[in-house]
């Protein structure tokens, strides 16, 4: 059994299974309801209940139990009937509140010779609402910022996942690799950026990542799987050598489990025993797709790769409004995204 929920003024409809939370069901079906803490404390997810009835689970904050009957805290509310709610939906990255928050390092994993994966946890009463593909800034003690892409999808938001590449002479990445310990407390500003999936398009998708440009693409692809996108997706990951494919099994697993995704790693300085694709990653894309006019293309990685892709793809019919990019610019002591932190 399930209940139907309609949002106003957005006019979207989604279903909630018996016993399922309203916010969880909405996010699973791609409906962008706002939220903050996801535990009933902050009130960011409050909606006007125009029709129907909800209950709150045992253990929910006491304040919710006495809440006005025409107000609904969606992160805790469980429908008991069909509903109509009035809520300002979040439909673009620009509509998500940028927040400054403390976080704690809960895991640090060396993925290969120069990439570390960090998992960050916000305080227990906080969750970060973001779109897949966005990034965060670490705010250093002196006010400088270091930017890294969020590598997980929004539905999996208990922790924030980052892929950090070591850059020689990079002060922050030296610290991450050499000194940072689990339980370290840091300060972040997030979410930032507009490198997000255009879900209303019906065109097939090409993702091209260079190095740790795989991180935001990972989040976008996992989000696409989660919301049930069935459009063809083609992933190209360009690195120098095999050892630079720091999560080699993951995209291969995606390709096995999802018939609409293909994957091609491309090495520019291939190992002697490498039998796969070689050269520059954008060249592999155009070799497979000489006419790109019917695609949406997402590029993430070094500026030289993004610039080369933009020129090559435009020459093969890709319109500018079907081309989305996230260039990691490395500029010492800059506050721009992708600075010397080694993002």
**Model pLDDT, residue 341:** 37
Lowest mean pLDDT among 87-91, 198-202, 249-253, 279-283: 87-91
What CA–CA distance (Å, rounded) separates 302 from 105?
Answer: 26
**Percent with pLDDT over 70 in the chain:** 93
Within the chain, all domains assigned CATH 3.40.50.80 are found at 205-327
266-289 pLDDT per residue, tens = 999 999 999 999 999 999 999 999
Within the chain, all domains assigned CATH 2.40.30.10 are found at 94-192
Per the CB < 8 A criterion, the answer to whether 284 and 236 are in contact is yes
Per the CB < 8 A criterion, the answer to whether 10 and 64 are in contact is no
Per the CB < 8 A criterion, the answer to whether 249 and 237 are in contact is no
Q: Could you please state the CATH topology (level 3) that the domain comprising 2-86 is classified under.
A: Ubiquitin-like (UB roll) (3.10.20)
Q: Is the per-residue pLDDT at 66 higher than 70?
A: no
**Percent with pLDDT over 90 in the chain:** 73
Q: Is the per-residue pLDDT at 335 higher than 70?
A: no
The top-level CATH class assigned to 94-192 is mainly beta
**What mean pLDDT, rounded, does the chain reach?**
90
139-160 pLDDT per residue, tens = 999 999 999 999 999 999 999 9
Q: How confident is the model at residue 45 (pLDDT cuts 50, 70, 90)?
A: confident
**Model pLDDT, residue 331:** 38
CATH number assigned to the domain with residue range 205-327, chosen from the 4 options 3.40.50.2300, 3.40.50.80, 1.10.10.10, 3.20.20.70: 3.40.50.80
Q: Is the per-residue pLDDT at 30 higher than 90?
A: no
- Using the structure block, give the residue that is written with the tokens 């940072």: 180
Per the CB < 8 A criterion, the answer to whether 131 and 154 are in contact is yes
Q: How confident is the model at residue 336 (pLDDT cuts 50, 70, 90)?
A: very low
Listed in sequence order, the residues at least 6 apart from 317 whose beta carbon sits closer than 8 Å to its beta carbon are 291, 292, 293
What CA–CA distance (Å, rounded) separates 216 from 150?
Answer: 6
- Using the structure block, give the residue that is written with the tokens 């919301």: 227
Q: How confident is the model at residue 7 (pLDDT cuts 50, 70, 90)?
A: very high
More confident residue, 320 or 294: 294
Q: Quote the Cα angle for 143-147-150, to 5°.
A: 135
Q: Which among 342, 338, 280, 336 has a CA at the least distance from the CA of 311?
A: 280
Q: Is the per-residue pLDDT at 300 higher than 70?
A: yes
| End-to-end CA, the chain | 46
Paired strand residues for 4: 15
Listed in sequence order, the residues at least 6 apart from 106 whose beta carbon sits closer than 8 Å to its beta carbon are 119, 120, 121, 159, 182, 183
90-135 pLDDT per residue, tens = 878 878 889 999 999 999 999 999 999 999 999 988 889 999 999 9
More confident residue, 27 or 133: 133
- pTM of the predicted model, to two decimals? 0.82
What CA–CA distance (Å, rounded) separates 108 from 227?
Answer: 29
**Model pLDDT, residue 44:** 75
**Model pLDDT, residue 108:** 98
Lowest mean pLDDT among 8-12, 183-187, 238-242: 8-12
Q: Is the per-residue pLDDT at 337 higher than 80?
A: no
Element (H, E) at 73: strand 71-73
Angle between helices 281-288 and 303-314 (to 10 degrees): 20
């Amino acid at each position: 059994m399930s209940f139907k929920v309609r949002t106003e003024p957005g006019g979207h409809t989604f279903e909630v299974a018996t016993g399922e939370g309203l916010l969880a069901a909405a996010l699973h079906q791609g409906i962008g309801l706002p939220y903050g803490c996801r535990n009933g404390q902050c009130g960011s997810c409050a909606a006007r209940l125009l029709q129907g009835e909800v209950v709150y689970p045992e253990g929910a904050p006491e304040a919710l139990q006495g809440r006005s009957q025409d107000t609904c805290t969606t992160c805790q509310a469980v429908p008991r009937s069909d509903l109509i709610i009035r809520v300002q939906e979040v439909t673009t990255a620009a509509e998500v509140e940028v927040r400054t928050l403390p976080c704690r390092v809960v895991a640090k994993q060396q993925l290969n010779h120069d990439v570390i994966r960090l998992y960050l946890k916000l305080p227990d009463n906080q969750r970060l609402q973001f779109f897949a593909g966005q990034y965060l800034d670490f705010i250093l003690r002196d006010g400088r910022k270091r930017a890294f892409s969020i590598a997980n999808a929004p539905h999996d938001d208990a922790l924030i996942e980052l892929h950090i590449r070591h850059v020689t002479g990079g002060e922050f990445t030296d610290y991450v690799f050499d000194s940072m310990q689990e339980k370290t407390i840091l300060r972040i500003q997030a979410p930032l950026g507009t490198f997000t999936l255009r879900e209303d398009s019906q065109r097939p998708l090409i993702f091209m990542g260079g190095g740790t440009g795989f991180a935001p693409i990972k989040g976008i692809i996992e989000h696409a799987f989660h919301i049930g996108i069935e459009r063809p997706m083609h992933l190209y990951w360009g690195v120098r050598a095999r050892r630079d494919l720091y999560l080699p099994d993951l995209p291969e697993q995606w390709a096995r489990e999802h018939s609409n995704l293909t994957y091609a790693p491309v090495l520019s300085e291939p190992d002697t025993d490498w039998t796969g694709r070689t050269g520059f990653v954008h060249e592999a894309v155009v070799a497979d797709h000489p006419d790109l006019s019917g695609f949406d293309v997402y590029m993430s990685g070094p500026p030289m790769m993004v610039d080369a892709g933009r020129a090559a793809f435009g020459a093969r019919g890709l319109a500018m409004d079907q081309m989305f990019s996230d260039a990691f610019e490395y500029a010492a002591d800059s506050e721009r995204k992708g600075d010397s932190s080694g993002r």
